[in-house]
Amino acid sequence: MRSATEPRIRIDVLIDEAEGRAELYDATFWSLRRTPKELPAVWLYDEAGSRLFEEITRLPEYYPTGSEREILTEHSAEIADLSGARTLIELGAGTSEKTLLLLDALEAAGTLERFVPLDVSEQVLRASAEAIAVRYPSIGVHAIVGDFERHLSAIPAGERRLIAFLGSTVGNLYPAGRARLFRAVASALAPGDGFLLGVDLVKDPALIEAAYNDSQGVTERFVRNGLTVVNRILRGDFEQSRFVFQSRWDADHEWMDIGFRSGDAQTVRIEELETELAFAAGEQLRFEVSTKFRREGVEAELVAAGLRLSGWWTDHADGFALVLATV
């Protein structure tokens, strides 16, 4: 139980603006030297980009948000009962909007004592922490401004904790990154704790591609905004008209490959990184991948990290899953 002297809202800041900027610049420098050249997806999520992504989640073609909400609506009570969680920890929490369904179920079960959202955006976390504290006056809120790939060791101790990583964000990680994350989660969990993971499943490629090539062009505006942000902040000279938007299904890797192709041979200068990039005609510039999963693959990755699958729920179309894992 939370003690009478413990504050209702606590916010730990593990990364500051200057540190985060330096790390992002360094990550951008090196990712542009990969094959294919790549820009970190964080450039997509400035204020304008975040608004565009929210618009994407409401599009008829974009099924993941609605599918995950369907599962949470129908099965949150069962998840709450199985986990018995007293502390809910959310990685990449953002506004925690969908998480309210899980918080409601845990509160109804009478176990919820604390919510721990972890996200890189201090502004978003502070606003979310205040809103959660108002909605659930009996619990404590311990927000952590940090990177879920580096700061899992900072999550507070306690009995019956549930770490949630929703929204299929795990699909944006490459296999090596997922393996590191799953090992870190396994190390952070104690007996009785759980890990709730959202995964988008392999399905008809036409349905998947439609979700990332919407008829209104919102996804393209979202990704192009990332180039605009790089130009503004890093003083780049990417010319939008010379890059063709491309979001395609890669059957070999079973992921969506999202970014651009260079329309012609060109050189791009990025002043803040003191670098020039030569692009051949048709050369790829990737912003992110979105991996789709199969149950046997998810289970194998979890087992390799020292986790075991103890719950599996899908939407009615069997296109999205929530996975509960334990040590």
Asked, as a colleague might, if the bond just before 36 is cis with ω within 30 of 0, I would say yes
Residue 124 binned pLDDT confidence (cut-offs 50, 70, 90): confident
What domains, with CATH codes, occur in the chain?
9-15+60-203+292-326 (3.40.50.150)
Task: Tell me the per-residue pLDDT of 150-168, one tens digit each, with 9 for 90 and over.
Answer: 889 999 999 999 999 999 9
Residue 2 binned pLDDT confidence (cut-offs 50, 70, 90): low
Q: What is the mean pLDDT of residues 286-292?
A: 98
Q: What is the pLDDT of residue 92?
A: 86
What is the percentage of the chain residues whose pLDDT exceeds 70? 97
Averaged pLDDT score across all residues of the chain:
94
Say what the pTM is: 0.93
Task: Tell me the per-residue pLDDT of 13-32, one tens digit each, with 9 for 90 and over.
Answer: 998 778 888 989 999 999 99
The three-state secondary structure class of 211 is helix
C-beta of residue 319 within 8 angstroms of C-beta of residue 203: yes
